[in-house]
Structure 1
Amino acid sequence: MQKQPQELRTGWFMKEHGSESAWLPVKQVPSEVHLDLLANDKIPDPFLDANELAVQWIAEKDWVYKTTFTTPPSSPQEGEKSSNNVKTDLVFHGLDTFATVTLNGRTILSSDNMHTRYRADISRLLQDKNSSNTLEITFHSALLRGRELITRHPEHTFHVRQTEASRVPVRKAQYHWGWDWGPILMSAGPWRPIVLETYTARVEDVWVVYELEEDLGRCEGEVCARVEGDYTGDDVALLLSIADVEGGGEVVSERVLMGGSAVVDSVVKVPFVIDSPSLWYPRGYGPQARYRVSATILRANGTQPLELDRMTKLIGLRRTALIQEPDAHGKSFYFRINNIDIFAGGSCWIPPDSFLSSMTPDRYTEWLNLVAESNQAMVRVWGGGIYEDEAFLDAADELGILVWHDFAFACASYPVFDEFVASLEIEARQNIRRMRCHPSVVVWAGNNEDYQVQERYKLEYDPDDTDPTSWRRSTFPARYIYEYLLPKWLREEDPSAIYHPGSPWGDGKRSSDPTVGDIHQWNIWHGQMAPYQSAASLSGRFISEFGMEAYPHLSTLQQSITDRSQHHPGSLMLDFRNKATGHERRLLTYLTENFPLLSTCSDLASFTHATQILQSETMRYAYKAWRRMWGTPGARQCGGVLVWQMNDCWPTVSWAVVDYHGVRKPAFYAIKRALRGVDVGVQRRGGVDWTEGHADPYRALGCVGEGGFDVWVASSRLESVQVAVLVRFISVASGEEVAERVVKRIAADANCTTEVLSNELIRLHPPSLRLPETRDPYIIHAVLRTEDGELLATDTDWPQPLKYLSFPNRNVNVRISPSGDKVTVSADRPVKGFVFEEREGLALSDNGFDLVPGEEQVVTVTRGFVREEALAWTYIGAERRNP
């Protein structure tokens, strides 16, 4: 018989386990306790106000879900011998987390891991054909179980850097215990689908193992399938095929009889060769060509074979390497795909919701489209969340976005007791198998910041000790996981995969070493709280985390805080919504060092705007400086930049560049501009720290004498581009040009940085031709065009700090097209941080930009439409807020 899957989606009920309360209806499964209690008006919305606190009792309770389903007609009855070896399984794609599952009163499985799939054979436990069966799942408190596990394992010290230690021995998404950007909402429930399957034989998995020759002209490998059930008869065959999706034809097709020696440990392998293969490239470097690989089980049935089961996947062929070679800066760290060096500009990704069962494929696609829209080449899936959903990976494959995926460990010292390791092995192998055919997944990392925990608590770590058994006995036993078990399992399941022991990690050196591996650069915001303008001096071989906080747009704040009296900076509700330790002093320090204090803090709208420009400016300085360090072949000083973070899991104040509702902050656009295919950068030389006691503020502004400046072009294009660079020097006060223009025509070299001007002198006009005040701050504005005049990019270096500047009489002009799909903005004098107030349902092509006299900014409304009376806008130093 053909496999018959039936998703058990509806007809569920839930309640607190052991209570006398009535069963509550569940709209659908997948679901989680909070969502079902909310839908039944039993709790307030956890995302509003301080309701997070009102629902935390849920974490200390056990909960039970139940449903009934009818025995499939083809299934054997209880106690009956199966005819034709028909089997019926229940497949649980995700149970969160400690669960006991019973069918008709009999326990069929116990789960202890949110990240794994469970399959239970229920063939002998079903009621009579077409009769009703009762399925119950009791979810036990992960919070209390975690505390019990700590007590049961006194041999291990459960060091933890975020929230409480009970999360560490539990294989559950760690952010559920709360993080410095997320609430404490301990979910429970059937968070992924539950499927009833009836079959005689089925395909468990199909995948491809291959190698591409160095010249990319030939691909050789094996197509593999794992089969289960009754497949041993002489009349059963397995058809394995690979088809070119674009070309439409099969390039591999082979039928294997299953009755002989073709099956080894339930696996069938067929060799193949593809000449001149179509390859999968990252976005912007080539097409995302894919092949369709299929495994089909066939049983002889007269002239028309009966298809028992089929599994099909889309795969991509690519040659991938992580280049770590000694060079003048230490040891390189960058990715090479299909022999092309890739600058991995992108972002870090946290779980997109506190309640993951509410995520849909469409929501995932919308998020990945945002990643692509902002010209990001890579997204890093952070280790404190989940092994990401198939919809996320499919979208990354289709869009050509590289995925760095952490294993599910974050900010702790993890144990290695036997039950923990056994559960971890199932988790790791299952998720490696699930992801190994996705061409977007190019690197696995062992953990997030666990080596920093080792350093912080001075746990034992000897780089010269190569004995894994001794690692397991040390005070840092998780090294046994990251440097022995995970790479071993990865080699066995996906031999060509790239593995990195942790993030950050530098070959056993200190995790903050900027000469090797990747670093998390938190000396901006955390640590030294360095000025964001000093990003160029804070580089590393690969910056896999850095960030700056900002408020989301007003619409998100106003939706999540219902009390209007709390709509002011520093209110109880706004501080509660920001989970970052010390956020008040950090955010205010950066604001007061850089922005005019009175106007910044006058109201929520002004404060929100100032934080957004602070974040946007941090992105501009960091991405520009670190992309410049991409350099040239053989001298790749910096191989990638990933901002912390792309997204939020609830409406909040955080480091995210796009908020929970998908509303883009200005920082999103700053990243989009900095990662253009060809970009220009301009920077004054010799910046001065104006916060020092005897600093000359005029020198800090760069308006004393004739200073020097640099201009460079960063390109990811694979061919040289002839370009013209125009540099203008414009008074902030008057909008007049104060120095001779500079024009350069160059060839921007392919896939590297081209230095255009180095410490070029600024030739100021005589004071008589300028404003009476000779100390006249000015911007340096660079414009990059093709030879035929097409605008490629602009960049503006502003005097620092911005708070020393005055912005009266900008004469900003905003014109909205009659159709409401285009807005044109201009100004008579330089404007810093012009921002349209965005909201859910509205999307713009650009925002948070600067205005320069003589130029217009044309913004396309890519979703929704605008009218003048409903479009608010402002800029730094604005005398009023519009409308």
Structure 2
Amino acid sequence: MAATRIELSHGWTFRQQDSQSKDWLSVQRVPTQVHIDLLAHGKIPDPFEDLNERAVQWVGEKSWIYRTSFETPENHARHTHHDLVFEGLDTFATVCLNGTEILKADNMFVSYRVNVAQHLKHSGANNLDIVFESALLRGRELVKQHSHEHNFLVRQTDVGRLPARKAQYNWGWDWGPILMTAGPWKPVFLDSYNVRVQDVWARYELSNDLAHCAGSVVVDVAGNLGPEDEIQLGIYDGDTIVFETKVSSGGAGAIEAPFTMDKPNLWYPLGYGAPSRHLLKATVLSKDQEGAAAASLSKSIGFRRAELVQEADAHGKSFYFRINNIDVFCGGACWIPTDSFQAQIPEKRLRDWVALMAESNQVMLRIWGGGVYEHDALLDACDELGIMILHDFQFACGSYPAYDAFLQTFAVEARQNIRRLRTHPSVVAWAGSNEDYQVQEKYKLGYDYEDKDPAAWRKSSFPARYIYEHLIPQILREEDPHVIYHPSSPWGDGKHTTDPTVGDIHQWNLWHGAMHKYQQVDLLGGRFISEFGMEAFPHLDTLHRMVSDPDQRYPGSMAMDAHNKAIGHERRMMAYVVDNFRLPAPAFSLAAYAHLTQMVQAETMRYAYKIWRRDWQGRKCGGVLVWQLNDCWPTISWAVVDYYLVRKPAFYAIARALRPLDVTVMRKMVDWTQTGDWVDENSALKTGQVDQTLRAKQGVFDVWIASSKVQPVNVQVQLRFVSIATGQEIRERMTQSVTAAPNTTTTVLHRHVAPASIPDSDDATKPFDMSAYDPYVIYAVLKVGGDQVVASDVAWPEPIKFLDLSKRDITFDLTSSSRVTIRAARPVKGFVFEEKPDIKLDDNGFDLVPGADKVVTVEGMDGKDLKYTFIGATGASLSVSGN
């Protein structure tokens, strides 16, 4: 008899276990989490608004009961197996069926399957109860139980999170709230069957020339599989049969069948080829049913060769990814959970996030280790669009224990999630943890890289090394032997995690640490930048949604600060703003300040992605991943796209910097008000003896082309020098024909001397005449095929705050309901249209130069006014009418 599945998604109720009220409240649907259900009944305020996060902390300190009932399936006697399946329970849960305990769960990341055939009633309703204990309190209890054997140390929030296998960000992070969830966060269902295909996957290797693929299809079958039953295994490319065979079962368990493929269609990352996928299918053919299909399982897979190239070179030891023999510069982003409540994330939302990455030319997503092993919908979207994934195991910013029970539950967690993710071609690499070796360094925990005895590691003050360098590699060898593994992020062969010559680094001397200027990113590079970032406010619509009180809608209000969890965010954000831009006058408005923070973030992205991408030449830098792509609630953070998927200007800056062909013009910034910088610049530029007076009259700039094309491209680079005050060109244009080398950067001009845009006086005895001060921008255009403009860039004299940008004479043409042409009589810095969830632009946060019309496609304008602003705008916001 064919298998059946009953989804237990409706008919649930819940209540607080120790509440004086015994009333049961309805649950709209499962999957769910308790905050979702309490909010639906008006029992709590929205935790995402105002200061309500504080008002709901009691929820995480309570135990909660979820209850439902379901009928025993008709003809249940014709099935030998009846499994209750809990794809995810959050987190410490006791499950009872008809009054009998059937499961004790302690891991949010594990799927549980329990055969309940003997507990089902022959007819009528079966009662299912799940009691969820407070993970907050249980975590603290576990710390007490194991404190004699381990020193629990964390860099973020409560130590109780370390022994609890639960999404670590629920305890709060420096970008997210403390919201301790509980509930059946993934689907619950009843499976009835005689035989079931548990898993199917392909273990394979590609030849060096990619022409041949050989491996085994591995299928795991459970239940009553007869010795004469057959299993049909197949690999299909659309309607084409690539491989198909039948094998005898010999009974339940794992069965392998070898296969070969010639000239396979391979999966390529975005921009390097088609992300081709195949269908992998296993079908049990029952002898008793004359060869009919008794059970089957299909998966979408992709074939590709992935390598992490780590070789000694002039800069230390390389760290970059090679896919199908093509070196790939991994420009991309880091990913945190997209919601504080995982159960309310629709699949479409996950696909929309991945689509944003593809739209912005990002090719790698790093899934951070303090969230969850991500949803299939996210992985499927990455497979489809060619986005590579570097997935952390779920450990972050702590010194984790390694006692037996902890290792046992983690081993189950690791195997299950490796098996689920291993057929996704997008998952090219795993990392053991996030920043746990930095915790080891901070607290000087015992770590001797030359000690290769795993048993000794468990007895050290850093026992988690056993997990990252022994247990995980061992499980990967058994479950997915060809996947790339990196012990942690960051990590580099046992050297200090900040060593720029080996492994990956998290570069937090921007924003955190030394708070370097973003113009100094050339001093902060490494072999692979797997984290860096700069905070910014979201757009006004999001700010208003998270702060409902008009009196709290100003920078630095209590409600605004409560929505920024970063330590010292007020002074860090203000420092970067005042270093570079004038504070708005006369009123210090929320709109104006938000815009300035967005400009700081966007400029940081421009510098970082462009300069570190330049280091792709010689493979000095293999990738740049911004912290972070997304938010888990409406907030002020490092995200370049906010909780509502509204893009900040930084998002577009990344998209421009990662174009398949991009041009950069970069001026050397000289802080001429600081004596020390005079000495440094003089030393760097001198061609003989150069004094301060001469130096004030000169500046230098570089021009380069970045290409991810696999073939050379003939291009033309044109430079214009445009007065900021008048909009006139102050010197002749420069034009140069260049062949852009494939998959690298090509230098066009290096340290080219031009007039400086800083005040100077020919006669030091006279006061400086500001009217004679005529700063200019350098506008670079990249053309192919004659006149086709594929990229442009603008270099300004910095800091921008010294410039008067108030009178720009901007005009608009609405050539259609969705196309806006923008022109400016004088150069404009940081032109931003105010975005909302229903407004979508193809570019934003750009600069304008006279003579270069900017055409923006706008979706959702539909007669609405489109507000905009720019650096130096006299009003808080202006608007162009969509009528």
| TMscore range, shorter length | over 0.9
> How has the CA–CA distance of structure 1 residues 701 and 128 changed in structure 2, closer, same or farther, with 3 Å as cutoff?
farther
- Deviating above 3 A after TM superposition, structure 1's stretches of 4 or more consecutive aligned residues are 598-601, 685-704, 763-768, 771-775
Residue aligning to 1:296: 283
State the match for 1:192 in structure 2.
186
Q: Does 1:284 align with 2:271?
A: yes
Q: 1:541 to 1:852 in 2, by over 3 A?
A: same
Which of 599, 611, 623 pairs up with 1:640?
623
Is 1:106 aligned to 2:89, yes or no? Answer: no
Give the secondary structure class of the aligned counterpart of 2:139: helix
Pairing 1:684–2:667 present = yes
Answer yes or no: is 1:325 the counterpart of 2:311: yes
- 1:241 equivalent to 2:224? Answer no
Counting only pairs closer than 5 Å after superposition, residues 431-830 of structure 1 correspond to structure 2 as: 431-599=417-585, 602-631=588-617, 635-685=618-668, 687-688=670-671, 690=673, 704-762=696-754, 773-819=771-817, 821-830=818-827
Aligned counterparts of 2:874 and 2:679: Cα–Cα separation in 1: 28
Q: Output the CA distance in 2 between the equivalents of 1:299 and 1:100.
A: 37
> 1:633-675: CA deviations, max 9, x gaps?
xx20000000000000000000000000000000000000000
1:683 maps to a residue whose letter is: M
What secondary structure does 1:617 align onto? helix
Q: What amino acid maps onto 1:532 in structure 2?
A: Y
1:772 shift after superposition: 8.6
For 1:762, what is the secondary structure of its paired residue? strand
Q: TM-score, normalised by structure 1?
A: 0.95
Aligned residues of 2:616 and 2:745 also touching (Cα < 8 A): yes
- 8 Å CA contact 1:33, 1:187 repeated in 2: yes
* Residue equivalent to 1:859: 856
Q: Deviations over 1:694-741 (max 9, x none)?
A: 969999999932322110000001111110000111111111122232
Q: Is the Cα contact below 8 Å between 1:740 and 1:763 reproduced in 2?
A: no
**d(CA) in 2 for partners of 1:267 and 1:66?**
36
Change (3 A) 1:723 1:166: same
Residue 300 of structure 1 deviates from its aligned partner by 2.8
> CA offset at residue 233 of structure 1?
3.9
2:366 corresponds to: 380
Report the Cα distance in structure 2 between the residues aligned to 1:178 and 1:353, rounded to whole angstroms.
13
Query: What do the CA deviations read for 1:152-177 (whole angstroms, capped 9, x no partner)?
Result: 01211110000110001000000000
For 2:254, the equivalent position in structure 1 comes to 267
State the distance in 2 between where 1:824 and 1:702 align: 42
Classify 1:670/1:500 alpha carbon distance in 2 versus 1 (closer, same or farther; 3 Å): same
2:113 matches 1:119? yes
User: Aligned in 2, Cα 1:23/1:367: closer, same or farther, shift over 3 Å?
Assistant: same
- Residue identity opposite 2:874 in structure 1: E
Any conservation in 1 of the 2:671–2:677 contact (CA below 8 Å)?
A: no
Distance 1:302 1:460, change over 3 A: closer
2:847 corresponds to 1:850: yes
Assess, with a 3 A threshold, how the Cα gap between structure 1 residues 203 and 451 changes in structure 2: closer, same or farther. same
Structure 1 residue ranges without an equivalent (≥5): 77-82
Query: Structure 2: how far apart are the matches of 1:875 and 1:59?
Result: 44
The percent identity for this pair of structures is 53
Q: Residues 692 and 596 (structure 1 numbering): CA distance in 2 closer, same or farther, change over 3 Å?
A: farther
Q: Shift of residue 796 of structure 1?
A: 1.0
Q: Please say if residues 682 and 795 of structure 1, whose CA atoms lie closer than 8 Å, have aligned partners that are also in contact.
A: yes
- Distance change (3 Å), C-alpha of 1:294 and 1:691: farther
Question: What is the correspondence of 1:89-168 to structure 2 with a 5 Å cutoff?
Answer: 89-129=83-123, 131-154=124-147, 155-168=149-162
- In structure 2, distance between residues paired with 1:601 and 1:521: 35
> For the residues of structure 1 that align with 2:770 and 2:416, how far apart are their CA atoms?
72
Contact 1:93 1:194 in 2 (8 A): yes
Match for residue 55 of structure 2?
Answer: 54
3-state DSSP of counterpart to 2:391: strand
Provide the alpha-carbon RMSD of the alignment.
Answer: 2.1
Measured against aligned partners, the alpha-carbon deviations of 1:393-423 in whole angstroms (never above 9, x if no partner) come to 0000000000000000000000001110000
CA–CA separation in structure 1 for the residues paired with 2:22 and 2:178: 26
Alpha-carbon distance in 2 for matches of 1:337, 1:701: 52
The offset of 1:685, in angstroms, is 3.3
| Aligned partners of 1:722 and 1:748 also within 8 Å | yes
Asked if 2 retains the 8 angstrom alpha-carbon contact of 1:294 and 1:311, the reply is yes
Report the Cα offset of residue 683 of structure 1. Answer: 1.1
Q: How far 1:692 sits from its partner (Å)?
A: 6.1
CA distance in 2, matches of 1:767, 1:595: 24
Quote how far apart the aligned CAs of 1:301 are. 5.0
Secondary structure at 2:697 match in 1: coil
Where 2:732 maps in the other structure, the secondary structure is coil
SS in 1 for 2:437: helix
Distance 1:574 1:702 in 2: 47
Q: Counterparts of 1:781 and 1:681 in 2: how far apart (Å)?
A: 9
Q: Secondary structure at the match of 1:707?
A: strand
AA aligned to 2:61 is E
SS of structure 1 residue aligned to 2:520 = helix
Does structure 1 retain, via aligned residues, the 8 Å contact 2:670–2:681? no
Q: CA shift at 1:777, angstroms?
A: 1.5
Counterpart in the other structure of 1:358: 344
Deviation at 1:601, TM superposition (A): 6.7
Q: For residues 862-877 of structure 1, what are the structure 2 equivalents within 5 Å?
A: 863-867=859-863, 870-877=865-872
Task: Please say if 1:313 is aligned against 2:299.
Answer: yes
Q: For residue 13 of structure 1, what is the aligned residue in structure 2? A: 13
Tell me by how many angstroms 1:826 deviates: 1.1
Q: CA deviation at 1:818?
A: 4.2
TM-score w.r.t. length of structure 2? 0.95
Aligned-pair CA distance for 1:808:
2.9
**Equivalent-residue separation in structure 1 for 2:626 and 2:674 (angstroms):** 26
1:721 touches 1:747 (CA, 8 Å); kept in 2? yes
How many residue pairs match? The answer is 859
8 Å CA contact retained: 1:503, 1:518 = yes
Separation (CA, whole Å) in 2 of partners of 1:841 and 1:326:
50
Distance 1:690 1:408, change over 3 A: farther
- What secondary structure is seen at the aligned counterpart in 2 of 1:575? helix
1:703 touches 1:778 (CA, 8 Å); kept in 2? no
Give the whole-Å Cα distance in 2 for the aligned partners of 1:857 and 1:325.
Answer: 44
Deviations 1:123-167 (A, max 9, x none): 1110013x1100110000000000000100121111000011000
Structure 1 counterpart SS, 2:279: strand
What is the one-letter code of the residue matched to 1:642? L
Please list, as runs of the form range in 1=range in 2, the aligned pairs for 1:372-411 lying within 5 A after superposition: 372-411=358-397
3-state SS, counterpart of residue 599 of structure 1? coil
Aligned to 2:874: 879
Change (3 A) 1:109 1:601: farther
